[in-house]
Amino acid sequence: MEKTRAHSGLEGIVVADTTLSEVDGERGRLIIAGEDVERLAGSVRFEEVCAKLWGQADVARRLGQARQEAFALLPKLRGALEATDGMDALRGAVAQLTARGGPDDGPWVTGAMAVFAAAWARRLRGLDPVAPRPDAGHAEDYLRMATGSGDVTLLGPRLDAYLVAVSDHGMNASTFAARVVASTGSDAVSAVTAAVGALKGPLHGGAPGPVLDMLDAIQAADAAASWLGAELDAGRRIMGMGHRIYRVRDPRAAVLEKQIELYERQAASPSPRLQLARAVERAAESLLKQRHPDRALRANVEFYTAVLLEAVGLSRTQFSPTFAVGRVAGWFAHVEEQRRTGRLIRPASRYIGPLPVK
Ligand code: COA
């Protein structure tokens, strides 16, 4: 192939055939393991989506066992889990796992991710980790371990819907990172470690914390337009807005918004955050439309992730690690799919440096 130009962001370059998920950016449709995300999130548990993505049975039990085994490893992982940043902690802790090989790695890394993310958050607050309950649902158990809350019956299902909604999303940056590592014949733990590193970045999974910072700074709906305008004038991006693929609103934004509404109805307390978030979204959308008339920049998944995860009792430092707790399901499925192709991912670069002097 002639090296005429570099595809620096690889937009539109198809690097794999997949049965795992499909992102239709024009229509705003996300299919995960053959189902629309709207049908899955809120009605199917995270374990069931893992089972579909991995093609495995008995996943709930295996995840519970993995959480228990990972909990036993925590004393050895103290150094990694002392990191101030949750994604640094996860990267360091996951990297120390030993891959088991083949299908066993899915439950193993997924169970461990939840235990590590929860233990890190507790340690940050100077608290001991909470032991897992292997017979509990994965989302509920993560929430209980992460918040120390005894009763997660109301909030657990909302977090479960979030984990399902983010479980897989086409060839996103962290999934691609995982597939590149898997394509070399390396193991699933190495692939997931690389994926955690990719997810950390604010252009990928690091946005929901800053979304909440933004809502805090704006405070009231009528201040949104001027605050956002000043950000854009200063050349900064509005977090939670825009997407590489979607040219309409990210369907996951609506899925998560619905979960927040559901929680409000159950708790019988309207959240001022949700009202503010909606006003900020409207203002951001209209300002971005004025400044980028040719490029639709609408709310992405991170926008309402911030509001939902805050509502379930997680702090903003826990948002990105919680994203990893859900997305690890997809990472592992892609690792297995990539491995089956047996094909090394090895693109080319175009050399534009100096030539040797003769
Ligand atoms: N706020 C302000 N401007 C934005 C923007 C945002 N959130 N997202 C994109 N733009 C602007 C860019 O500055 C660029 O403007 P220019 O053509 O004048 O330089 C234009 O829109 C196209 O952006 P581009 O960088 O080509 O888009 P991308 O496909 O590479 O970026 C994101 C996609 C997600 C990285 C980008 O929209 C973004 O940074 N969003 C904020 C971070 C975020 O929410 N991340 C979570 C993603 S799920």
Ligand 1 centroid – CA 305 distance (Å): 18
Nearest Cα to Cα of residue 301 among 166, 138, 123, 136: 166
User: What is the per-residue pLDDT across 289-305, written as a single tens digit (0 to 9) for each?
Assistant: 999 999 999 999 999 99
**Atom 17 in ligand 1: residue holding the nearest Cα:** 292
**How high does pLDDT run on average in the chain?**
95
User: Once rounded to an integer, what is the mean pLDDT over residues 110-120?
Assistant: 98
Nearest CA to ligand 1 atom 25: 244
State if residue 327 touches ligand 1 by the CB under 6 angstroms criterion.
no
Residue 33 pLDDT > 80: yes
Q: Is the C-beta atom of 241 inside 6 A of ligand 1?
A: yes
Q: Would you state the pLDDT for residue 275? A: 92
User: Is the CB of 207 within 6 Å of ligand 1?
Assistant: yes
The string of pLDDT tens digits covering residues 70-96 is 999 999 999 999 999 999 999 999 999
Pocket of ligand 1 contains residue 27 by CB under 6 Å: no
Q: How far apart are CA 257 and CA 263, in angstroms?
A: 10
For residue 186, count CB atoms less than 10 angstroms from its CB and return exposed for 0-12, middle for 13-18, buried for 19 or more: middle
Residue 4 has pLDDT above 80, yes or no: no
The proportion of the chain whose per-residue pLDDT surpasses 90, expressed as a percent, equals 89
Q: Given this model, what pLDDT does residue 1 score?
A: 54
- Could you tell me what percent of the chain has a pLDDT over 70? 99
Question: Per-residue pLDDT for 105 more than 60?
Answer: yes
Write the DSSP symbol of residue 35: E
Q: Is the pLDDT of residue 124 over 90?
A: yes
Give the confidence band of 2 by pLDDT, cuts at 50, 70, 90. low
Residue 277 structure tokens: 């978030």
Those residues with Cβ within 8 angstroms of residue 69's Cβ, 6 or more apart along the chain or in another chain: 108, 111, 112
Averaged pLDDT for residues 100-127:
97
Using CA atoms, how far apart are residues 95 and 245, in angstroms rounded to an integer? 30
CB 176 within 8 A of CB 15: yes
Measure the CA–CA gap between 145 and 308, rounded to whole angstroms: 18
